[in-house]
Amino acid sequence: MQDAVVAVSTLDGTHKETVQQVDVAVVGAGFAGLYLLYRLRKAGFTTVTLEEADDVGGTWYWNRYPGARCDIQTIDYGFTFDPELEGAWRWSEKYATQPEILRYLGFVADRYDLRRDIRFRTKVTAAIWDQAKQRWLLATDNGASVSCRHYIMATGCLSSPKPPEIDGVKNFKGEVYFTGRWPHEEVKLAGKRVAVIGTGSSGIQSIPLIAEQAAELAVFQRTPNFALPAHNGPVPGDRKALLDNDRTGYREQARWSLAGVPYPQQTVVSWQLSDAERRERFEKAWDAGDLVYILTQLWADQAVDVDGNALLAELFRDKIRAAVKDPETAEALTPYDHPFGAKRPCLDTNYYATFNRPNVTLVNLRQEPIEAITTSGIKTGKRTFDVDVIVFATGFDAMTGAIMAVHPITGRGGKSLSEVWANGPQTYLGLTVAGFPNLFMITGPGSPSVLSNMAVSIEQHVDWVVDRLTAMREAGFATIEATEAAQAGWARHMADCSMLTLHRLANTWYTGANVPGKAQGVMPYTGGVGPYRSICNEVVDRGMLGFMLSGPSVAEQCNDGEIVRLQPDVRLVLNMLAEMKLPPIESFGFQGARDFVAQFNASRPAGRPVGEIVDGSLPGPDGALSYRLYRPATPGPHPIVVYFHGGGWVLGDEQSDDPFCRDMCRRTGMIFVSVGYRHAPEYRFPAAAEDGYAATRWIAEHTAELGGQPGPVLVAGWSAGGNIAAVTCQLARDRGGPKIAGQLLVCPVTDCRFDRPSYNDNAAGYFLTRSLMYWFWDLYCSPADRTDPRVSPLRGKLAGLPPAFVVTCEFDPLRDEGNAYAEALTAAGVPVEQLQARGHFHSSFTMVDMVITSVSGRVQMAEALRRFAGLPPQATGGDEARRGQLASHKLAAAAG
């Protein structure tokens, strides 16, 4: 290391001091820092790691409190970059203790001789980017400053403990400990009166052990948490067998999974299971004592849907009630304020049973908040607790604390990171920040980090960063910086992802809510480890999209843009379809295409239950038409919505949009009658239009018989069905009824012009292609008829039509004609509301089971239909979606 230390002038040039010159400086010698050092050295970069502690370990160095363990199973929680390392280390337990993990990290440091490049007991006190030299200068509190081309923060997500935030701590005459800074020497608690404040993972792990030692223990709980028994013991045989049978495959599956642990995506939804089946699944998870399993494997909607989650949370609550004898204590320990998994659940050993001990008292701070800490103990609103020891298990300034609060970081043009992040962290990929060239964060905010197996995420980040530095060096680039556009796009994508899960619905350290005054928004990436990895790879494949690269003797490169413009789940669906390498649907022929659609629909989970489903037939203009009626579970009579399915006038039937009809029936509280109109090419224009009108007329005349509310009906339709709904409104106006109270047009076909930009921009790649639309048109309608308003309603007279809600999707060939129809209706004096769905594709709203981010759109559609029908807003779904939007918009707003 000495070789690299040279005398240079400081930034202001006034005096000389010793500065250590390296290619790359790393801060932190935990999991991330150690692997960085290994990779950087191997890649031939001169490197130094600065570490505040006097040994390696990071989080596992500091968190030495009694009971500290990892809560990812040890076979999944370790380095995988070197099979020989994997072979050389054996974990003793399913969940390793802190000392064992620390030993492991020491073993890794020794094995690769990493310590020689680590400066221990050295804190960075400031970091400044020198634009002229294109280097970072790091000041330290111990020894030489460091000048480096690249600065990588491997500072961990949970390494900056939160201050106590309670008055009077300094007055307390007894012992004070923080779980996140537990002393190295033994802490003797035997015979003492102890208070523990905080019931997150650290509290829940330590409380049972402290209770065994202390004479008395008072646990001060602000928010109860869900805790699953760890059932610690040997590494489970089934998981180990999976790993041993195919180590490479097992690790690879972890890398592409959602949480970084190799579990498949659960596909069975809660409503497909009986109460007994759900309980059976839950009991299995409870007995397995595996946090990732219970968080992901019970049913597909457990983490994405409030109702699906509530079923699981209630089973959990039953367990707490059964474990704790005193009903009042049990009730206080039972969480109601957040969905299961939205706040970090804990893994425990005897936690709930500890409250049955005579020496343990639970103090419910919701009923008696702490007023102050006194010289002798803790005073609440109701009583005083005299104690000898106070343990603060109050958590961390998570995700951003160690990056931002620990030392000032000054980027290009004197920009301070604290100022740039004042409204919340802004990053590109969670790895870089615009305005801070050559600065990288490992598992920074905006990456999956704490919502994943950290070991897997760390390896992915480190590999990506070191590979980029290597590629830059080979190409002659000296600096790399994220662009503002890419970063703003990432913030939008983050906000979109935050709609996928329920994390936005809880006040947690994930959202910054645990630190008073901290900007709030979901900080970790909720889109999953595998999707995140594919996005990082795509950035590279697309020529370092969103990065500016420059070097002394090469031309500057900036391939600007947003890496993900699709909604995250739409991206997954389209990728999945692309992987299927399907031939164009039109190449199947019309019967083959119908069979394909039927097969595709049959493979999807059934939609949610509604009150009743009735199949029937009604008289059409040329024979009977079948219909399917969806009735809400609420008492009727209900207003009726006549619905027309999608399928280009060629495909589908009255059952093919079943999940959408069920969902809308539930959300609107209205009857949906899906009409099986005749299809082309057997029945060409105007058969579908005339069937639509005739069916609407018949339904309006038979509302009472169908159990509907007397009065006007409503119409709705998707795609070609949207076309039929729009046409039906025009025909009803012109042919003397029936009266229609409102029209919902979802991605409707409205015109026969193919020259609007969306037909080109979205011609291919978004499932509904331009050529498929051409095929539909050819099968349904000859060119001479295409300007007839019964197929191109945009060409008809628009005044006097019922109020409309028009939905268009950004990545849909039909987008612009839908927007044109909305504009034309407005111009004709028709009340119009519009949803222009960003990042969505033609099928987003009907793929109810797969496109979670379309929920809020359907909530808006349902609210519109209720308004048209003169009903008050529905409280449930709407509220949930609105809350979600608010939380995610905080991040998007911060991006703006």
Contacts with ligand NA7 by CB under 6 A lie at: 158, 165-166, 179, 197-203, 222-223, 344, 365, 393-396, 509, 514
User: What are phi and psi for residue 229, nearest 5 degrees?
Assistant: -65, 130
Q: How far is the CB of 151 from ligand NA7 (least distance, A)?
A: 26
Q: How far is the CB of 210 from ligand NA7 (least distance, A)?
A: 14
Bridge partners of 152, per DSSP, are: 26, 440
Plot region of 808 (φ>0 → left; ψ -120 to 50 → alpha; else → beta) = beta
Of 108 and 197, which CB lies nearer to ligand NA7 in the complex structure? 197
Bridge partners of 150, per DSSP, are: 24
Q: How far is the CB of 509 from ligand NA7 (least distance, A)?
A: 5
Plot region of 630 (φ>0 → left; ψ -120 to 50 → alpha; else → beta) = beta
Q: How far is the CB of 178 from ligand NA7 (least distance, A)?
A: 9
Sign of CA dihedral 287, 288, 291, 295: negative
Of 203 and 877, which CB lies nearer to ligand NA7 in the complex structure? 203
Per DSSP, the residues of 724-785 read: HHHHHHHHHHHTT---EEEEEEES----S---SHHHHHTSSSSSS-HHHHHHHHHHH--GGG
Q: How far is the CB of 553 from ligand NA7 (least distance, A)?
A: 46
Of 226 and 685, which CB lies nearer to ligand NA7 in the complex structure? 226
Q: What is the 3-state secondary structure (H, E, C) of 440-481?
A: EECCCECECHHHCCHHHHHHHHHHHHHHHHHHHHHHCCCEEE
Of 400 and 514, which CB lies nearer to ligand NA7 in the complex structure? 514
Q: How far is the CB of 507 from ligand NA7 (least distance, A)?
A: 7
Distance, in Å, from the CA atom of 79 to the CA atom of 97, rounded to the nearest integer, reads 17
Distance, in Å, from the CA atom of 262 to the CA atom of 260, rounded to the nearest integer, reads 6
Name the DSSP class of 264.
P
CB atoms within 10 A of CB 601: 15
Of 777, 789, 786, nearest to 813 by C-alpha is 777
Structure tokens, 213: 């030692």
Structure tokens, 33: 């820092």
Q: By CB neighbour count within 10 A (0-12 exposed, 13-18 middle, 19+ buried), where does 458 fall?
A: buried
Q: How far is the CB of 197 from ligand NA7 (least distance, A)?
A: 5
Residue closest to ligand NA7 (Cβ): 200
Q: How far is the CB of 9 from ligand NA7 (least distance, A)?
A: 43
Helix (H) / strand (E) containing 866: helix 855-868
Q: How far is the CB of 227 from ligand NA7 (least distance, A)?
A: 11
Name the DSSP class of 638.
B
Of 196 and 566, which CB lies nearer to ligand NA7 in the complex structure? 196
Of 157 and 539, which CB lies nearer to ligand NA7 in the complex structure? 157
Of 222 and 889, which CB lies nearer to ligand NA7 in the complex structure? 222
Edge-to-edge strand order for the sheet containing 832-841?
Answer: 612-620, 623-631, 671-675, 640-644, 713-718, 740-746, 804-811, 832-841
Q: How far is the CB of 425 from ligand NA7 (least distance, A)?
A: 18
Supply the Cα-derived Rg of the chain in whole angstroms. 31
Structure tokens, 815: 């987008």
Contacts of 170 (CB under 8 A, 6+ apart): none
Q: Are 883 and 875 in contact (CB under 8 A)?
A: no
Of 78 and 568, which CB lies nearer to ligand NA7 in the complex structure? 78
Question: Is the N-terminal amide bond of 681 cis, ω within 30° of 0?
Answer: yes
Of 368 and 761, which CB lies nearer to ligand NA7 in the complex structure? 368
Q: How far is the CB of 460 from ligand NA7 (least distance, A)?
A: 19
Of 169 and 310, which CB lies nearer to ligand NA7 in the complex structure? 169
Helix (H, G, I), strand (E, B) or coil at 614: strand
CB atoms within 10 A of CB 256: 15
Q: How far is the CB of 77 from ligand NA7 (least distance, A)?
A: 12
Find the length of the chain: 896
Q: How far is the CB of 170 from ligand NA7 (least distance, A)?
A: 15
Distance, in Å, from the CA atom of 323 to the CA atom of 228, rounded to the nearest integer, reads 12
Of 457 and 846, which CB lies nearer to ligand NA7 in the complex structure? 457
Distance, in Å, from the CA atom of 59 to the CA atom of 346, rounded to the nearest integer, reads 17
Sign of CA dihedral 889, 890, 892, 896: positive
Q: How far is the CB of 158 from ligand NA7 (least distance, A)?
A: 5
Distance, in Å, from the CA atom of 296 to the CA atom of 313, rounded to the nearest integer, reads 13
Q: How far is the CB of 676 from ligand NA7 (least distance, A)?
A: 52
Distance, in Å, from the CA atom of 896 to the CA atom of 561, rounded to the nearest integer, reads 16
Of 166 and 577, which CB lies nearer to ligand NA7 in the complex structure? 166
